[in-house]
A and B are shown apart, each in its own frame.
Chain A
Amino acid sequence: AQKVTQTQTSISVMEKTTVTMDCVYETRDSSYFLFWYKQTASGEIVFLIRQDSYKKENATEGHYSLNFQKPKSSIGLIITATQIEDSAVYFCAMRDNYAQGLTFGLGTRVSVFP
């Protein structure tokens, strides 16, 4: 069965620094898709970035980038030059051809301080 694990429950960082979040996943499929979303204080869920398992190059999108380590089933999210508005809960999610929809992790709460 699919499983997504985020071990960090919360991280606090100073503004303009870099934050890294961990995520490991389990799947029996050789082809799968990994996503990061953030949930803002208002509850809105925003898509940030994705990594397709067949792509070797780490995905980047603005100040978000991924550290995809396929042998370790790991997909870390890196946010550079953090801003106050990056404070949110960040969810890692996975989808494969066996799953019913997306499987989410429990989330990591990031607090960015001035």
Chain B
Amino acid sequence: GPKVLQIPSHQIIDMGQMVTLNCDPVSNHLYFYWYKQILGQQMEFLVNFYNGKVMEKSKLFKDQFSVERPDGSYFTLKIQPTALEDSAVYFCASSIGHSQNTLYFGAGTRLSVL
């Protein structure tokens, strides 16, 4: 099926530092998403993004989080500053359209905040 690429697969940083997670969505998709999965728990929605803007965000999407996709390059999630509770696997997803369309996920980036 369609492939979403995420870089890096694992990132280790010190608490308080900034981190950027990169996602290369499926080429003809227009909607982009970030999800967070803490070990052993369900995936939880963070944010979705369309036409250069955040469309929806959950309460998990703290003020320290931001997303962008400058000039059709990577869709990024930036956390600044990071906190210990940000340690999780972050999954990027994309879809052609909105609510009725299937989301395709990347393999995730494991973020470890020390």
Chain A residues proximal to chain B, CB less than 8 Å: 33, 35, 37, 42-47, 50, 52, 91, 95-97, 99-107
Partner of B43, one of A44, A95, A104: A104
Give 5 closest A-B pairs by Cβ, nearest first. Answer: A101-B45, A45-B105, A100-B56, A44-B107, A104-B42
Known: A100-B56, A103-B45. A43 touches B102 (CB 8 A): no
Over the window 84-114 of chain B, the binary record of Cβ atoms lying under 8 Å from chain A Cβ atoms (1 yes, 0 no) is 0000010100000001101111111010000
Q: Are A102 and B42 in contact (CB under 8 A)?
A: no
Q: Which residues on A sit within 8 Å (CB–CB) of B108?
A: 43-45
Q: Are A47 and B91 in contact (CB under 8 A)?
A: no
A45 to B35 alpha-carbon distance, docked (Å): 12
A99 to B33 alpha-carbon distance, docked (Å): 13
Q: Which of A42, A44, A101, A105 has the most CB of B within 10 A?
A: A101
Q: Tell me the count of chain B residues lying within 8 A, CB to CB, of chain A.
A: 24
Residue of B with least CB distance to A44: B107
Residue of B with least CB distance to A97: B99
Chain B residues proximal to chain A, CB less than 8 Å: 1, 33, 35, 41-45, 48, 56-58, 89, 91, 99-100, 102-108, 110
Q: Are B107 and A100 in contact (CB under 8 A)?
A: no
Q: Are A107 and B99 in contact (CB under 8 A)?
A: no
A45 to B36 alpha-carbon distance, docked (Å): 13
Q: Are B107 and A47 in contact (CB under 8 A)?
A: no
A45 to B42 alpha-carbon distance, docked (Å): 12
Q: Which residues on B sit within 8 Å (CB–CB) of A91?
A: 42-43
A37 to B44 alpha-carbon distance, docked (Å): 14
